[in-house]
Chain A
Amino acid sequence: MRAIIHVDMDAFYASVEQRDAPELAGKPVIVGGHPKRGVVLAASYEVRPFGVRSAMPMAHAVRLAPRAIVVPPRFSAYLEASERVFAIFERYTPEIEPLSLDEAFLDVTGSLKLFGPAQAIAARIRREIAEEVQLPASAGIASVKFVAKMASDIAKPNGQREVRAEDTIAFLSPLPVSRLWGVGPKTEERMRTLGLKTIGDVAARGAKWLDEYLGSGGVHLWELSQGIDARAVESDRAAKSIGAEDTFEHDIAIGEALHPYIHQQALRVGVRLRKHGLKTRVVQLKLKLADFQLLTRRKTLDAPTDDGQALYQEALALLERAPSGKRVRLTGVSAQDIGETGGQVELFATAKTLQSERRGKLNKALDKIAEKFGSDAIATADLLGARVEDNEDDEARRQVGAARFDRAKE
């Protein structure tokens, strides 16, 4: 049996902002774009009782919580925090499957002898994140991936929950079916008409019954209801592709608002490719629409690359081909068809190869700076936070800006 930990940071962006500006601690904080046109990117736990959720229009959020402090996003700071968190994971296992910036599966089966039971490892990881990165995290511990993820959801905020194999069915039973992976609003509706409200309802029916009424997907749902999930934790080394994706709690319209997410995801993929000495030939952009429809667009490159900026440019071109105006709940950038770099020199020094060589040198330098000073030390302007773009009537924004300036002086 495996020992799997799902670690999920709590209100990640908002927590980073509260950490970096002490006057925000314990206050309702909204990380978001333009106060009139943007969307909520993260909401601190203090503001959630007002009904503020990620990806809701800022105008709406501000109406719900007029006293909330609005802060512009600083993606580079989130990236930096994320890398420090992942570095802590690496102390305990090499088997890490990143799900997004603030979420990962860890297979610690091989680490139990060294570090003790999974429950203790999760506690140590959370304590080290709290001490070294000053951020709250929650963890779920189980023998299969999806149960671990559900457990961490339930443990939030700042908690952990272990579900032993023998308790799995009892744990799952009262949860709504929408919690199961693969159950979107449509399937949920179908299931409700069949009288399946909780996972326990699914478990009570046999696999045969579910197959008959829901097709082959029904069998899979029954297996999940029994806590059966054969998927292994897939770390980068063994993976055939490397990807980064983030789910927004609410939906964002296809368009420029997605750019910073995609940019940052592309850069994350680039960093991970270079870390393992891999390059990719195929870039894939993944969009999950509000209705759970999955769109993937891919492009084969002229030459293999490990440059996040190049991946970003390709992903943007792919985004252009997506149906504009639709709303998405998740974006992801991945490198498919990855392989060792090898270092083959090109025969024809075209403008493109020369540029990619220069990029290679630049990335090497950037990786070194990030290693030494953290990836927050250097970033592109769009990820650094919209501090310069508009100096308008936003009191909170100015306050936070001033607070940061003070810290910088210290």
Chain B
Amino acid sequence: MKFITSANTLADHLYRVQGVASAKSTMPALSHVLLRADGQQLKLSATDLDLAIEDFVPVKVEQAGSVALPAKSLFEVVKTLPPGDVSLTLVDNQRVEIKAPKATFKLVGVSAGEFPAIPQVPDTQSIELPAREIARMIDGTIFCVSTDDARYNLTGVYWEALQGGKGLRFVATDGHRLALMERAFDQHVTMKPVIVPKKALIELKRLLGATPAEEQRVRCAFSDNHVVFGVGDVKLSSRLIEGQFPDYEQVIPKSAPNVVKASRAELSDALKRVSIMSPDKSFGIRLHVENDRVRVESQNPLLGEASQEIDVEYQGPAITIGFNAHYLLEVLSQISEGGVRIELADHISPALVRPIESRDLLGVVMPMRV
């Protein structure tokens, strides 16, 4: 195998692929990226067996062939090369010589045969969705995904078509809080509800970049237990999470009577400050809401205590309610600007958090007993 390409181009493509390779696997090939040079292109593949990615790089192939190289090291090497052409040549024994002007590396790989076959998923249901909206919906929900393997069905984001196929809804929860976002699309969305693993969405976000172009599209094809995302030439396929997503609609309060309207920035600052004094692991704080005021308080028997007041809009009965400060801060960080509306019932019922000016996002946070 031998090919020549621009170092910058190769680095860009390796960046997209290397996140899928798993560093901690017992199977060494899984921390590698497979390079296959053929015709006028180089195909890059990586997989952790649940998630797989394939990308194509335009290169000048001098000799067709393939080899698997350690993903992280290859990316580190290529991204530090000076701009210009780079050649990769399989020399001997799965060793690859990487040659740039004035710099040479030799990287030890494994034979392409040791790399697991990536399952090809049939495109049974395929839809094209606006990339910018999908990226926003991932950001707005992924922070609520559970990291607890014991609650496997909560370790991904639930995707569900809106009624009549008018759009898409994302829901994520870890059992203590929940985030929901929905968007209406021009095209019709038909799909069975699915749970997409967190890692697949992180890698999809990597492919989309921070702010995808207005016209960019993501192709989504679902089969019974897989999803394939297509972004340009890149194909990202993931196993779906099996299991039942909980009946989330029943835990979203239909109407909580007591509405607090606050500045997002002020509330967020107060929470950050006061939570410094909250107990180590729980980040427990108390909100005391009364008469156009919120007092944020915390207490750590080993450290001390803190309290801060902010002006809000509130005319309901006095309520004292405890929360994990992080849960509130994370949902607030997804509200880009302006005011936040918090709807409360009592000290043990869920709080509904959303922006005042839009219906962009809906957060539900369960209180803590204090």
Contact = CB atoms under 8 A, between A and B. Distances in A.
A313 B151 CA distance: 20
Contacts, number: 49
B364 interface: yes
Given A343-B370, A347-B175, A301 B284 contact: no
Interface string A331-352: 0000000011011111110000
Contact of B324 (A340, A344, A347, A348): A344
B279 A340 contact: yes
A300 B173 CA distance: 20
Interface in B243-274: 246-247, 251
B206 interface: no
B210 interface: no
Interface string B333-370: 00000000000000010100000000000001011111
Nearest to B250: A348
Contacts of A342: 279, 281-282, 284, 324, 368
A366 B369 CA distance: 21
A348 B175 contact: yes
A346 B176 contact: yes
A340 B178 CA distance: 23
A342 B283 CA distance: 9
A40 B350 CA distance: 55
Contact of A340 (B280, B364, B369): B280
A302 interface: yes
B150 interface: yes
B139 to A, nearest CB: 21
Contact of B173 (A301, A343, A347): A347
Interface residues of B, number: 26
Nearest to B370: A343
B348 A345 contact: yes
A347 B247 CA distance: 11
B173 to A, nearest CB: 6
A329 B284 CA distance: 44
Contacts of B279: 340, 342
Nearest to B173: A347
A302 to B, nearest CB: 5
Nearest to B279: A340
Given A302-B150, A340-B279, A342-B282, A347 B177 contact: yes
B368 A347 contact: no
A339 B151 CA distance: 19
Nearest to B246: A348
B369 to A, nearest CB: 3
A301 B178 CA distance: 21
B322 interface: yes
A341 to B, nearest CB: 8
A103 to B, nearest CB: 31
Nearest to B350: A347
B151 A302 contact: yes
A345 B281 contact: no
B281 A340 contact: yes
Interface in B131-167: 149-151
A344 B281 contact: no
B282 A340 contact: yes
Interface in B209-265: 246-247, 251
Contact of B368 (A300, A302, A345): A345
Contacts of A343: 282, 284, 322, 368-370
A301 B281 contact: no
Contacts of A340: 279-282
A347 B281 contact: no
B150 A301 contact: yes
Contacts of A344: 176, 282, 324, 366, 368
Given A340-B282, A342-B284, A347 B367 contact: no
A347 B369 contact: no
A340 B368 CA distance: 13
A305 to B, nearest CB: 12
A302 B174 CA distance: 12
B176 A339 contact: no
A347 B364 contact: yes
Contact of A347 (B176, B282, B284): B176
A329 to B, nearest CB: 32
Contacts of B247: 348
A302 B246 CA distance: 15
A310 B34 CA distance: 48
Interface in B277-293: 279-282, 284
A346 B368 contact: no
A165 to B, nearest CB: 34
A348 B364 CA distance: 12
Interface in A182-218: none
Contacts of B366: 344-347
A130 to B, nearest CB: 37
Interface in A242-293: none
Contacts of B367: 345
B251 A348 contact: yes
A347 B365 CA distance: 8
A69 B66 CA distance: 82
Contacts of B150: 300-302
A339 B247 CA distance: 29
Contacts of B176: 344-347
Interface string B160-190: 0000000000000101111000000000000
Given A346-B366, A348-B251, 13 more contacts: A300-B150, A302-B151, A340-B280, A340-B282, A342-B282, A342-B284, A342-B324, A343-B368, A343-B369, A344-B176, A344-B324, A345-B366, A346-B175
14 contacts: A300-B149, A302-B150, A339-B281, A340-B279, A342-B324, A343-B284, A343-B370, A344-B176, A345-B368, A346-B175, A347-B251, A347-B350, A348-B175, A348-B246
